[in-house]
Amino acid sequence: MSLVSTVSRRDVEWTATDILFAPPPVRRGEFEFDLALRHAGMRRVRLRYETVGDPRLPAVFVAGGISAHRHLAANAADPVRGWWEAQVGAGRAIDPARHHVLAIDWLGADGVLDVPIDPGDQADAIAALLDRLDVAHLHAFAGASYGAMVGLQLAARHPARVDRLVAISGVHRAHPYSSAWRALQRRVVQLGALQCDGVDGLVLARQVALLGYRTPEEFEERFGAARVVDGRVHVPAEDYLDHAGQAYAARTPITAFLRLSESIDLQDVAPSSVTAPVTLVAVEQDRLVPVADAYALAQGLRGETRLRVLRSRYGHDAFLKEPEAIAAILREAIDAEQPA
């Protein structure tokens, strides 16, 4: 029996073969609603989202760091590469053929919401999105960095909405050392603004941030010794930092950086308030989220808990730079049978 039978309706023609291999449906949208922010009261906010996959499939929410966004991977509606191509897509750990994949642009990412934004506010906004899309609960929430913090907030504040959580390089609190690091970055931006040069301030702040995301081991492998160029000392890593800083500043409003950076430092979740099964991922070389904090979180969680500790020269950015290790953890966590 042939699989190829042609069907025509008006000016649309397709075949059974096309139907079998049709790309997963994509939905992009935005909506406004009133949200009670924990530190700024009731506000009218706008949330932008993207979903990929059949809404009847198990829903998986994906969230990354403060510079991540709703476009996770290239799809039929938008062929531009997304920020987590390594994990989202056909045949990957999070596959829109098997999952209804959801993501948002963070509240404040457009620079319009110029008030303190708590990670709990992001969790409440996600709950509002689930209501709007008629998603009763998430099969899984996969979050990395800031996204892991928000995932913990969602599991604590809306426990019926999260069946399981994968939290990579993000825990229940901001470590005082990393908070100090971010506070200095924000001061750099503010100093630039005082000099009427806020963009260059943001570029420099991003460069400083990258030194916290990565490790001395990586820089040792990638960059050589300083040399004299045109009468000044040039450090090889400067070129990399310049490029990364300029690229970030070109796509990020200054207010968005400041408010989302602050938001990380507002993280505060009681581990005992999280009852869903949680897979924690920590990186030994992560200077922003110490492994000790991941152990403390694991000890306080009330549900089934797994802790995976990786070694990576990429430190905090291991979730972006160690695709095989992260994929194995995601597959195990997302595909695991739900405990009775």
The verdict on whether 145 is a catalytic residue reads: yes
CATH 3.40.50.1820 residue ranges for the chain: 26-174+267-335
- Report DSSP letters for 201-265, one per residue: HHHHHHHHHHHHHS-HHHHHHH----EEETTEEE-THHHHHHHHHHHHHHHS-HHHHHHHHHHHH
3-state class (DSSP) for residue 46: strand
Contact 178, 130 (CB under 8 A): no
- Determine if the pTM surpasses 0.75: yes
Q: Name the token pair of 98.
A: 């098997």
Q: Which amino acid is at 52?
A: V
**What are the angstrom distances between the C-alpha of 262 and each of 25, 63, 139?**
35, 18, 30
Active site residue 286: yes
State whether CATH 3.30.1330.30 applies to domain 176-264. no
Provide the mean pLDDT of the chain. Answer: 92
**Architecture of 26-174+267-335 per CATH?**
3-Layer(aba) Sandwich (3.40)
User: Which of these is catalytic: 95, 99, 145, 178?
Assistant: 145
Q: Where in the chain is the domain with CATH 1.10.1740.110?
A: 176-264
pLDDT digits (tens, 9 = 90+) for 221-262: 999 999 999 999 999 999 999 999 999 999 999 999 999 999
Q: Of the listed 100, 139, 172, 316, which one is catalytic?
A: 316
How does pLDDT run across 56-97, given as a tens digit for each residue?
999 999 999 999 999 999 999 999 999 999 999 999 999 999
Residues 6 or more apart whose CB falls under 8 angstroms from that of 110 comprise 46, 253, 256
Among 95, 105, 163, 286, the one annotated catalytic: 286
